[in-house]
Amino acid sequence: MLAPSDRNALVNDTAPWSEGDNEALAAFYAMSPRPALDEISRILGRSGRAIQARASRPQLAQRTERGQMRACIVGCGRAFYSTHRFDRYCPMCRHSELVRCA
């Protein structure tokens, strides 16, 4: 847990996630052993909750050797963790009506 004085160091905590932030987070999750959440939080300048929430979206905990970060092809363009080369829809678009009707 960060001390109150360390919370001022979270300069990116309210900023939108950039592609570089996503790649950095994916690199941390690919490391073996994975760095502690406090360390990732300090390096990226975000709270532990923000790190955990973002990590759950691109499915970083379920990484495979063939997987990588890809952009959604439906139109939203969100970066997401794709487990294989044919996985091209982000989780949000995969469950939308647009994809189900196609």
Domain ranges (residues) in the chain: 17-101
Tell me how far apart the alpha carbons of residues 24 and 51 are, in angstroms, rounded to a whole number: 11
Would you place residue 64 in the very low, low, confident or very high pLDDT band (cuts 50, 70, 90)? low
The answer to whether residue 1 scores a pLDDT higher than 50 is no
Residue percentage of the chain with pLDDT more than 70 = 75
The alpha carbon of residue 2 and the mean position of all alpha carbons in its chain are separated, in whole angstroms, by 21
Rounded to whole angstroms, the Cα distance separating 23 from 101 reads 32
Of 67, 64, 70, nearest to 84 by C-alpha is 67
Report pTM. Answer: 0.52
**3-state secondary structure (DSSP) of residue 9:** helix
Residues 45 and 10: beta-carbon distance below 8 Å: yes
67 touches 98 (CB < 8 A)? no
